[in-house]
A and B are shown apart, each in its own frame.
Chain A
């Protein structure tokens, strides 16, 4: 049992995300390095376009990681660093795209669809009122009684 637990823990640890940050890139000041990692998660590697620069092993990702750290050491704020990279590479380098008219569909589309779907469901629920049947006439009621009591006694 203990071996099983140990093996499971090992597997879980191995499944944790591994960053591509090399030891020679790490800044000596831990606070700055923490900022650099946080910013690195916000920037897309343009070579492996589904990864952040922290995760990607591409050369360009390493260059951008080093650039981010240099800007931090030079005294840039977080917003400054992002703006610096964004000025050179455009919207796509930001993993969180800016909110402007050209990205409204991207940001708000899912909520609009959700609202539309919810509205559709609500409308359907309220419209599903069965059409009121006309009340039964006397001879129809007699027929109904006869049918219901068929086979009694």
Chain B
């Protein structure tokens, strides 16, 4: 009977070690969104002055519940990973994915220059000058991408620049699923 007691420290070690092992593959900087499965927050952003589409009205909550899934991408001209991510967005837009942009704490001129230089994959762009809309979305870094379903509900949040892997493994399947 005494022998069994010796197994206890070993068992505790095994349990704790397995938690740590599982944690090795995770990135502690990636936080789960507090808004998952909740409707997109209330916000209304002005457009980027000078963007090509006529009648450009910026971006607001109502624009996100139009009956088909879409992405909302938070970006800024001063954000280097955003530059790296941008071609990936362009490719998605070419495939017909609707992407709305939020220019986060950016000067309108700089944001426009960014889009002119790297391409403009966005259907609509809202200018979030003071970052307040970002706070409503729970944004804690740039870039961030949200997947919104047809009813305007946030289904997924990816912090950091989108990678082709993430697009293939998570984003595209999710968009397909939401399209029904």
Contact = CB atoms under 8 A, between A and B. Distances in A.
A88 interface: yes
A49 B32 contact: no
Give chain A's interface secondary structure class.
helix
B35 A92 contact: no
Interface string B129-167: 011101111101100000000000000000000000000
A86 B35 CA distance: 10
A63 B139 CA distance: 11
Give chain B's interface secondary structure class.
loop
A64 B135 contact: yes
B34 A86 contact: yes
A88 B136 CA distance: 6
Contacts of B41: 88
Given A88-B136, A90-B31, A47 B141 contact: yes
A63 B131 contact: yes
Nearest to B38: A87
Interface residues of A, number: 15
Contact of B140 (A60, A86, A91): A60
Contact of B32 (A47, A59, A90): A90
A21 to B, nearest CB: 18
Interface in B31-78: 31-35, 41
A88 B138 CA distance: 5
Interface centre among B32, B33, B105, B131 (most CB of A within 10 A): B131
Interface of B: 28-29, 31-35, 41, 105, 130-132, 134-138, 140-141
30 contacts: A46-B31, A46-B140, A46-B141, A47-B140, A47-B141, A49-B28, A60-B131, A60-B141, A63-B130, A63-B131, A63-B132, A63-B134, A63-B135, A64-B135, A67-B135, A86-B34, A87-B34, A88-B34, A88-B41, A88-B136, A88-B137, A88-B138, A89-B34, A89-B138, A90-B32, A90-B33, A90-B34, A90-B138, A91-B34, A92-B31
**Which 6 residue pairs of A and B lie closest in terms of their CB atoms, listed nearest first?**
A90-B34, A46-B140, A88-B138, A89-B138, A63-B131, A92-B31
Given A60-B140, A63-B134, 17 more contacts: A46-B31, A46-B140, A47-B140, A49-B28, A60-B131, A60-B141, A63-B130, A63-B131, A67-B132, A88-B41, A88-B136, A88-B137, A88-B138, A89-B34, A89-B138, A90-B31, A90-B138
